[in-house]
Chain A
């Protein structure tokens, strides 16, 4: 695995970002913009499952409205995150505990969102408003918060 990180850092992408004065900051700022979008797209569905916003709209309707924004922001996150990772893959991120935890949280959050939460949100009204759905929403908020907190933590580690 470390050799992969080493290769990425010395690839064209890694060296171009690393040698530029502005590139890292620009990708970082775009990554932060995508964070705001993903935050809204995740939260509005979780808050609806908890019954805290749009109680008169069906969970499936809110989830369907949020879906293109969720998928679009996840793609934007990867497109902006990969150059950030590539720039210092081996010399910084490979040994960064916060980055490692962020990746575990990210994997768990993605699997949970698309395999579990999506199914509950799209099921019938009784199930989508059940106590189980509320628990799913809480887990979703916690997993995505973990990704965000560990992401911020990379800079402090």
Chain B
């Protein structure tokens, strides 16, 4: 079903328009890479605060409140530019092993964020201003950093065709 959707999408004028353009594709890709600085770069500062490495003198809730508008802005740019890149050649991306690993990494990163939200974040008032954060918060931050590193690396590797397409 996913494959037939990709095949349908690839035939639309929208998809072929991006795929065959001279400038649109490089512009979208540059936006995707530069938003990485805003999104992953600032998310990293948040994760480092969770692990108790940076901004230890600033309350956790304040770091979150100040960074989240920028992290959200970066995430919106990443998702929009990423969807457009995917739409340009959906069948190739769907059959690329690194693209699938990246999708798995994104799913796990979302699960980790949910686990933090439903877990240790509920007791945030107890450790909001602590320089040394609870073990669960450190773990959530470290897992997030690891997963985003995997997502960035597998994302870059999508461009290589070391392995034959899966579809």
> Which A residues have a C-beta under 8 Å from some C-beta of B?
21, 25, 28-29, 32-33, 35-44, 47, 52-57, 61, 65, 69, 145, 148-149, 152-153, 156
Interface mask (B124-160 → A, CB under 8 Å = 1, otherwise 0):
0000000000000000000000001100110011001
A40 vs B17: C-alpha distance when bound (angstroms): 33
Which residues of chain B are near A32, meaning CB under 8 Å?
A: 33, 36, 152-153, 156
Q: A39 — which chain B residues lie within 8 A by C-beta? A: 34, 36-38, 40-41
Q: Could you tell me if B58 and A54 are in contact, using CB atoms closer than 8 angstroms?
A: yes
A43 and B37 contact, CB distance less than 8 A: yes
A36:B62 contact, CB within 8 angstroms: no
Complex CA gap A41/B45 in Å reads 8
Give A145 to B34 CA distance when docked, in angstroms: 8
Contact: A43 with B30, CB < 8 Å?
Answer: no
B26: interface (CB < 8 Å): yes
Known: A29-B156, A36-B152, A69-B54. A152 touches B44 (CB 8 A): no
Contact B58 A36 (CB under 8 A): no
CB–CB A29/B157 < 8 A: yes
Q: Is B79 an interface residue (CB 8 A)?
A: no
Contact A156 B26 (CB under 8 A): yes
- New A-B pairs, 14, CB < 8 Å, besides A39-B37, A40-B42, A44-B41: A28-B156, A29-B153, A29-B157, A32-B36, A36-B36, A37-B41, A40-B45, A42-B41, A43-B38, A44-B45, A53-B66, A55-B66, A152-B34, A153-B30
Distance of A41 from chain B, by nearest CB (Å) = 7
Query: Which listed residue, B54, B55, B66, B152, touches A33 by the CB 8 Å rule?
Result: B152
> In the complex, which residues of chain A have a beta carbon less than 8 angstroms from the beta carbon of B66?
53-55
Cα–Cα distance between A54 and B16 once the two chains are bound (Å)? 44
- Distance of B18 from chain A, by nearest CB (Å): 15
Asked if A40 and B58 sit within 8 Å, CB to CB, the answer is no
Bound-state CA distance A145–B33 (Å) is 11
Query: Who on chain B is nearest to A48 by CB?
Result: B66
Q: How far is the CA of A54 from the CA of B40 in the complex (A)?
A: 18
Q: Is the CB of B55 within 8 A of A35?
A: no
Selected A-B contacts with CB under 8 Å, 27 pairs: A25-B156, A25-B160, A29-B152, A32-B152, A33-B149, A35-B33, A35-B37, A36-B40, A37-B44, A38-B37, A40-B40, A40-B44, A40-B45, A42-B37, A43-B37, A43-B41, A44-B42, A44-B45, A55-B66, A61-B57, A65-B54, A145-B34, A148-B33, A149-B30, A149-B34, A152-B26, A152-B33
Q: Quick one: which of A39, A47, A52, A56 has the most chain B CB within 10 A?
A: A39
Chain B residues near A42: list those with CB within 8 A. Answer: 37, 41
The reply on B121 being an interface residue by CB < 8 A is no
Chain A residue with the shortest CB-CB distance to B63? A54
B89 within 8 Å of A (CB atoms): no
Given contacts A33-B149, A156-B26, contact A25 B157 (CB under 8 A): yes
Q: Does B104 reach chain A (CB closer than 8 Å)?
A: no
Determine whether B162 belongs to the interface, using a CB cutoff of 8 Å to chain A: yes
Q: Is the CB of B36 within 8 A of A152?
A: no
